[in-house]
């Protein structure tokens, strides 16, 4: 029978049965179709509430209430009218209990549990494998503010995981078996001994706004397990567990999971399948608009090896946000958690018609997508669409939900919740882990409020608004021109089933249109000001006093599946207004308003509106423009022009293309402006290139070029800028390479201002092409050469404002015995290859990258100016020779901040010709400490001046703060050096001036060092040391140290018998040698 014929039959039967039992049929029709009228006349039986406390239940958390609950259920279930089983507030201890039907109630059987239920702790107290069971029931409504506490942490979790050995018993906290046409809503479950919620042979059941929580390491604690059930909806729920958040097992059909958050846990899973013979098929399963945060898996299908034949098909995972998930997308047909499976043959479970669509976010393993299909029964029709997964930034922290109701918010539609919302935002925004600002169901009155950043959260800041927000009615209640504002934020995800009701119909619309006269004020309902890299999804806005949604100075913001509604005659109520914003995507939305559906105003660039319905309203508009002086231009509003070699062209978009060539996949040549390359695959070829530039005179500039969300596979280069040597002057600026995946690319990131493909160029002088404002962001993957990053800038016209953010590249080639000291080489976060060197680079930033196991310096700045190194992680073993962390040579205005360095040599070394260097907030250890030098090795060395180390930590290093010069050195100088607020933890030589530095013991020592050291301050140096001497000032005997100051030095020795291996120092806590003029010691102790 077709679906259409089935519907006709159902409607006929309903119409017929209305004559037999109108009340019950109309109630059924109203519940599932939503438009039945109330039956005429009074109900046939009275409504009665059956309270467990009236049947002897006690809320003291100690008494066994099982018998009282059973008596209450029997009375409620056998009542011939409408009834409610009710548990009041309190904590009720309940043993294993079965609420069994069918019931005699006239209509829906309500079960309201307000108090908390707590389970016995011992597994032996459960005769079967469930705690609270509902069975053989139709049309129940289970709800309340209860928490069902399974107390699995007391005994059950201490048995081994059932994946490793046979468990005594897995106790499900809440089980629905043979239950149909029912709803579970607004309840919480925690710490189950096994599954938290299990649906078995259930049909047409909705699980809505349910909260489930158990620790990540609680074994076998699936959140919701669905088995042999159909037409199941799981919506707007929050699940954290020690196993699958939702698991769909054999015989399940037509299951929808939407708006649900998972984490911690093992993600959303189909399976495991194929464990026993004659398993029923799994079909038509959809996970949609969900979030997975910090889980082991994201979207998973798992089948056992050597399994009997069965099938799973028509499965969709769509609109899923992954946050630091180990395996975001995984098909595992070799699933064997105990590693003791029968693997004599492959799985025989047939997987087909499976779609992963719009899966985005970050992952923490080696693979974002892992499809391990059966070698016998191939996976069929597997589709991946719009999958964008990136490696995460930084360490992982706990995920925490900040609920406005816990900060005093009331959903009564009358109380002012502004202060409670502000308190909740402050807590969520300042949480150092991953956080969510959460508004539960209800109607919340909120005054004008500003959600301001930046936030301290580790990753995406989630804002889930499930309840409706309603605005004050009076215009005078708004000090500014907005109701709800988000500002100064990066990477937020705003979503939910909310409606933001601006209530403009009460007062605001009664003023005349602002096109006719001056309005008192136009209040925007939702405003995003200076917000970037963010998503607004699945929310509704209605009856705004002014604009519904306004984007001002926003960048890279997606507005998806948003519904906006106001009457056609509501004045000035633009749906979405975009002003001075760029890279804005408005997709799949429905907008009806009294003014423009979407209006694009001055200063807006790169806006795409697609799949969006408008009406009523004034349509899609650009403008109005020209109202005030000096308006910014409006450009690149959804152009659609393709190309490969771009010369003297502008406003070019190259999108979703696949290019394999013998040269550059895309080359951007002189005179090109405003080019975007996105979603494009390159390989084989020479990569994505700017240039070559500077070949002829009077070349036009290249500006505003962006490569975004692309892949380079097996190419010679990845992201390249190339200019000829001895070139005439020209410029290239405002160039971005972002979200690029490199797969076995020779040179992933390369600036080559000595480009000479034929090796026959005129190289008498350097390139005069000026490169500036260039950003490499989120470049990840693998490379096959010695260097992941190579910046070979001009020695005459320095590269300016070069930024590397989130560069994570791994080398695949065996390291050479000796690495060449190229101009620039890095590997981001990887093992085995070279250092990162900046040569003639100025006004630039290096941020959030990792370097490890260099064969020489990890990071080298040479002839650099105004460069910031921030949040860089460097690691090599303590015994790796000559592996300085950061080496600064002939550079000025260098800032090294908030970094962590462990190396086999100096953590930071400042060499000759360096001026105005600040090192702050940086941790050193292991290594040789923070060093000035070594100085005086060659003639005519430039001086070192104005160096400051501040607010740093040295842990377990050979030295703490050190100045070192060679003996018998030519004259030179180092002065104005400060070491301040340094914590020493078990350091060999916390404070050390060594003007007899001779690491190999084979130096020329015929005369003392001629390097003049002066104006050196050691201030607030504190902690412990493991040698005999806390402060050792070994100055030159010829050129005295001058103006050496020690203030608030407090160091404590931990090992009085320690001797240095290379020399025997004086047995004093404080040692000086050579000549010192002006040594001052204040408030210092050496114990």
Domain shared by 542 and 612, yes or no: yes
| pLDDT over 50 at 435, yes or no | yes
Other beta carbons less than 10 A from residue 1002's beta carbon = 7
Among left, alpha and beta (phi > 0; psi -120 to 50; other), residue 187 is: beta
| pLDDT over 60 at 23, yes or no | no
Domain shared by 312 and 214, yes or no: no
Structure token digits, residue 216: 């990540």
Q: What is the mean pLDDT of residues 206-216?
A: 92
Q: 549: which strand partners?
A: 526, 576
Structure token digits, residue 21: 């039992």
**Residue 966 in domain:** no
| pLDDT 10s digits, 891-903 | 999 999 999 999 9
> Percent of the chain at pLDDT above 90?
41
Q: Give the total number of structural domains in the chain.
A: 5
pLDDT band at 236 (very low <50, low <70, confident <90, very high): confident
Is residue 804 within 8 Å of 827, Cβ to Cβ?
Answer: no
| pLDDT 10s digits, 966-1007 | 888 889 999 999 999 999 999 999 999 999 898 877 787 788
Question: Of 568, 591, 622, at which residue does a domain stop?
Answer: 622
Domain shared by 67 and 14, yes or no: no
Domain shared by 23 and 62, yes or no: no
Mean pLDDT, the chain, whole residue set:
82
**Residue 941 in domain:** no
Q: What is the pLDDT of residue 1087?
A: 45
Domain shared by 490 and 441, yes or no: yes
Rounded Cα gap, residues 231 and 440, in angstroms: 25
**Residue 918 in domain:** no
Backbone angles phi, psi at 706, to 5 degrees: -135, 130
Of 447-456, 752-761, 881-890, the range with the lowest mean pLDDT is 752-761
Other beta carbons less than 10 A from residue 658's beta carbon = 11
> Percent of the chain at pLDDT above 70?
84
Domain shared by 113 and 77, yes or no: yes
Domain shared by 541 and 580, yes or no: yes
Among left, alpha and beta (phi > 0; psi -120 to 50; other), residue 526 is: beta
Contacts of the segment 127-130: beta carbons below 8 A, 24+ positions apart: 127/96, 128/96, 129/169, 129/170, 129/171, 129/172, 129/194, 130/96, 130/171, 130/172, 130/173, 130/175, 130/198
Distances (CA, A) of 648 to 67, 132, 670, 675, 724: 85, 73, 6, 11, 19
Question: Of 806, 835, 853, at which residue does a domain stop?
Answer: 806
**Residue 781 in domain:** yes
What b/e sequence results for 201-234 when a residue is b if at least 16 CB atoms lie within 10 Å of its CB, and e otherwise?
A: ebbbbbbbbbbbbbebebbbbbbbbbbbbbbbeb
| pLDDT 10s digits, 453-484 | 999 886 788 999 999 999 998 888 888 889 99
| pLDDT 10s digits, 698-716 | 888 888 888 888 888 887 8
Is residue 329 within 8 Å of 290, Cβ to Cβ?
Answer: no
Rounded Cα gap, residues 715 and 706, in angstroms: 19
Say how many residues make up the chain: 1087
Q: 955: which strand partners?
A: 985
Structure token digits, residue 822: 């190229």
What is the dihedral sign for C-alpha 480, 481, 487, 492?
positive
Tell me if residue 403 is catalytic: no
Q: What is the mean pLDDT of residues 356-383?
A: 89
Structure token digits, residue 933: 């030098």
Domain shared by 263 and 145, yes or no: no
**Residue 882 in domain:** no
**Residue 1008 in domain:** no
Is residue 779 within 8 Å of 819, Cβ to Cβ?
Answer: no
Rounded Cα gap, residues 778 and 709, in angstroms: 10
Domain shared by 344 and 387, yes or no: yes
Q: What is the pLDDT of residue 964?
A: 93
Instruction: Say if residue 388 is exposed, middle or buried (CB neighbours under 10 Å; 0-12, 13-18, 19+).
Output: middle
Q: Which residues contact 20 (CB under 8 A, 6 or more apart)?
A: none
Domain shared by 433 and 342, yes or no: no
Of 187-201, 607-621, 791-805, 1016-1030, the range with the lowest mean pLDDT is 607-621
pLDDT band at 306 (very low <50, low <70, confident <90, very high): confident
Domain shared by 447 and 594, yes or no: yes
Going through 660-746 in order, the beta strands assigned E by DSSP cover 666-668, 673-678, 681-682, 688-693, 702-713, 717-723, 730-745
Tell me if residue 577 is catalytic: no
Q: What is the pLDDT of residue 1046?
A: 93
Structure token digits, residue 231: 């037409």
**Residue 1023 in domain:** no
pLDDT band at 1073 (very low <50, low <70, confident <90, very high): low
Q: What is the mean pLDDT of residues 369-393?
A: 86
Q: Which residues contact 299 (CB under 8 A, 6 or more apart)?
A: 267, 268, 287, 292, 317, 320, 328, 329, 330, 356, 359
Q: What is the pLDDT of residue 18?
A: 36
| pLDDT 10s digits, 393-409 | 444 456 789 999 999 99
Which has more pLDDT, 676 or 164? 676
Q: What is the mean pLDDT of residues 102-106?
A: 87
pLDDT band at 114 (very low <50, low <70, confident <90, very high): very high
Task: From the candidates 266, 431, 858, 887, give the one annotated as an active-site residue.
Answer: 266
Domain shared by 14 and 151, yes or no: no
Is residue 1040 within 8 Å of 1002, Cβ to Cβ?
Answer: no
Give the domain extent around 19: 1-41
Going through 538-604 in order, the beta strands assigned E by DSSP cover 540-542, 549-552, 555-560, 563-565, 576-579, 582-587, 590-592, 598-600
Read off the CATH number of the domain in which 763 is found: 2.160.20.10
**Residue 767 in domain:** yes
Which has more pLDDT, 37 or 828? 37
Q: What is the pLDDT of residue 760?
A: 65
Is residue 595 within 8 Å of 616, Cβ to Cβ?
Answer: no
Task: From the candidates 116, 222, 243, 319, give the one annotated as an active-site residue.
Answer: 243
Question: Of 232, 256, 286, at which residue does a domain stop?
Answer: 232
């Amino acid at each position: 029978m077709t679906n259409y014929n089935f519907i006709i039959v159902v409607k006929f039967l309903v119409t017929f049965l209305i004559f037999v039992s109108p009340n019950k049929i109309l109630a059924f029709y109203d519940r599932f179709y939503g438009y039945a009228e109330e039956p005429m006349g009074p109900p046939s039986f009275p409504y009665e509430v059956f309270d467990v406390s009236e049947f002897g239940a006690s809320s003291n958390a100690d008494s066994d209430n099982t018998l009282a609950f059973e008596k209450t259920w029997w009375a409620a279930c056998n009542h011939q009218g409408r009834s409610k089983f009710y548990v009041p507030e309190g904590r009720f201890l309940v043993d294993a209990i079965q609420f069994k039907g069918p019931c005699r109630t006239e209509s829906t059987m309500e079960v309201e549990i307000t108090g908390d239920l707590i389970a016995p702790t011992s597994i032996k107290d459960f005769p079967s494998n469930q705690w609270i069971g509902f069975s053989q029931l139709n049309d129940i409504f289970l709800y309340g503010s209860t928490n069902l506490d399974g107390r699995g942490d007391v005994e059950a979790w201490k048995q081994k995981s059932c994946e490793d050995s046979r468990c005594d018993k897995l106790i499900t906290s809440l089980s629905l078996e043979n239950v149909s046409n029912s709803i579970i809503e607004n309840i919480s479950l925690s710490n189950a001994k096994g599954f938290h919620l299990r649906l078995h042979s259930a049909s047409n059941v909705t699980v809505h706004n349910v909260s489930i929580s158990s620790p990540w390491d609680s074994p076998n604690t699936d959140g919701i397990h669905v088995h042999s059930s159909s037409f199941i909806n799981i919506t707007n729920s929050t699940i954290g567990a020690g196993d699958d958040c939702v698991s769909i097992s054999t015989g399940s059909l037509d299951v929808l999971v939407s708006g649900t958050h998972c984490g911690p846990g093992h993600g959303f899973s189909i399976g495991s399948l194929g464990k026993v013979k004659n398993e029923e098929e799994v079909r038509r399963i959809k996970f949609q608009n969900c979030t997975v945060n910090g889980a082991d898996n994201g979207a998973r299908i798992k089948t056992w090896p050597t399994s009997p034949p069965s099938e799973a098909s028509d499965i969709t995972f769509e609109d899923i946000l992954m946050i630091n998930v180990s395996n975001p997308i995984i098909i595992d047909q070799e699933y064997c958690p105990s590693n003791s499976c029968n693997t004599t043959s492959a799985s025989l479970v047939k997987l087909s018609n499976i779609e992963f669509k719009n899966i985005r976010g970050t992952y923490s393993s080696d693979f974002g997508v892992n499809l391990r299909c059966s070698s016998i029964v191939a996976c069929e029709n597997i589709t991946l669409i719009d999958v964008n997964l990136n490696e995460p930034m930084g360490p992982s922290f706990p995920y925490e939900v900040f609920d406005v109701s816990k900060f005093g918010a009331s959903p009564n539609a009358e109380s002012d919740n502004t202060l409670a919302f502000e308190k909740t935002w402050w807590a969520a925004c300042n949480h150092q882990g991953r956080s969510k600002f959460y508004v539960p169901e209800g109607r919340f009155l909120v005054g004008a409020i500003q959600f301001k950043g930046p936030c301290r959260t580790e990753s995406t800041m989630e804002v889930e608004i499930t309840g409706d927000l309603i605005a004050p009615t009076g215009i005078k209640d708004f000090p500014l021109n907005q109701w709800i504002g988000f500002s100064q934020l990066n990477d937020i995800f705003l979503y939910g089933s909310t409606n933001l009701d601006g209530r403009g119909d009460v007062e605001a619309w009664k003023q005349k249109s602002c096109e006719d006269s001056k309005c008192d004020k136009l209040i925007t309902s939702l405003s995003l000001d200076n917000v970037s890299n963010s998503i607004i999804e699945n929310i509704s806005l209605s009856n705004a006093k002014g604009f519904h949604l306004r984007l001002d100075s926003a960048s890279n913001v997606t507005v998806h599946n948003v519904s906006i509604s106001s009457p056609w005659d509501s004045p000035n109520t633009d749906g979405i207004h975009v002003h001075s914003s760029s890279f804005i995507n408005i997709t799949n939305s429905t907008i009806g308003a009294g003014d423009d559906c979407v209006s694009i105003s001055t200063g807006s660039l790169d806006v795409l509106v697609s799949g969006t319905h408008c009406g009523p309203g004034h349509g899609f508009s650009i403008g109005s423009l020209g109202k005030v002086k000096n308006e910014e231009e409006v450009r690149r509003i959804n152009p659609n022009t393709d190309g490969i070699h771009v010369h003297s062209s502008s406003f070019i978009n190259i999108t979703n293309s696949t290019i394999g060539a013998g040269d550059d996949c895309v080359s951007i040549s002189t005179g090109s402006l405003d080019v975007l390359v996105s979603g494009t695959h390159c390989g084989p070829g020479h990569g994505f290139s700017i240039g070559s530039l500077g070949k002829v005179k009077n070349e036009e500039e290249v500006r505003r070029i962006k490569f975004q969300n692309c892949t380079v596979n097996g190419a010679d280069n990845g992201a390249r800028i190339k200019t000829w040597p001895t070139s005439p002057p020209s410029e290239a600026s405002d160039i971005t390479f972002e979200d690029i995946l490199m797969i076995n690319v020779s040179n992933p990131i390369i600036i080559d201002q000595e480009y000479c493909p034929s090796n026959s160029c005129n190289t008498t002088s350097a390139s005069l092409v000026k490169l500036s404002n260039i950003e490499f962001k989120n470049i990840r993957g693998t490379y096959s050469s010695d260097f992941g990053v190579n910046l070979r800038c001009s020695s005459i016209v320095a590269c300016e404002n070069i930024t590397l953010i989130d560069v994570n590249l791994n080398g695949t080639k065996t390291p050479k015995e000796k690495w060449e000291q190229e101009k620039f080489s890095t590997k981001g976060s990887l093992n085995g290859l070279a250092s990162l060197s900046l040569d003639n680079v100025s006004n630039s930033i290096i941020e959030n990258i990792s370097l490890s196991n260099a064969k020489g310096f990890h990071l080298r700045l040479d002839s650099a100016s105004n460069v910031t190194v921030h949040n860089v992680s460097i690691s090599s073993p303590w015994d790796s020779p000559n592996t300085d962390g950061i080496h600064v040579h002939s550079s000025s205005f260098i800032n090294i901040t908030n970094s962590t360095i462990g190396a086999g040599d100096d953590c930071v070394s400042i060499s000759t010709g360096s001026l105005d260097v600040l090192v702050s907030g940086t941790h050193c250890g292991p290594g040789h400490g923070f060093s000035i030098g070594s100085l005086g090795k060659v003639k005519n060395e430039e001086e070192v001046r104005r160096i400051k180390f501040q607010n740093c930590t040295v842990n377990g290093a050979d030295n703490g703060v050190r100045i070192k010069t060679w003996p018998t050195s030519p004259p030179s100088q180092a002065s104005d050096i400060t070491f301040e607020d340094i914590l020493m933890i078990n350091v060999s030589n916390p404070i050390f001036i060594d003007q007899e530095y001779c690491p190999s013991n084979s130096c020329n020592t015929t005369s003392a060092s001629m390097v003049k050291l002066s104006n050196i301050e050691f201030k607030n140096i504190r902690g412990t040391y493991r040698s005999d001497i806390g402060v050792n000032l070994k100055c030159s005997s010829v050129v005295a140290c001058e103006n050496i100051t020690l203030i608030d030095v407090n160091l404590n020795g931990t090992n009085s018998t320690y001797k240095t291996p290379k020399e025997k120092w004086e047995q004093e806590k404080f040692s000086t040698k050579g000549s010192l003029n002006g040594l001052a010691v204040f408030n210092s102790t050496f114990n």
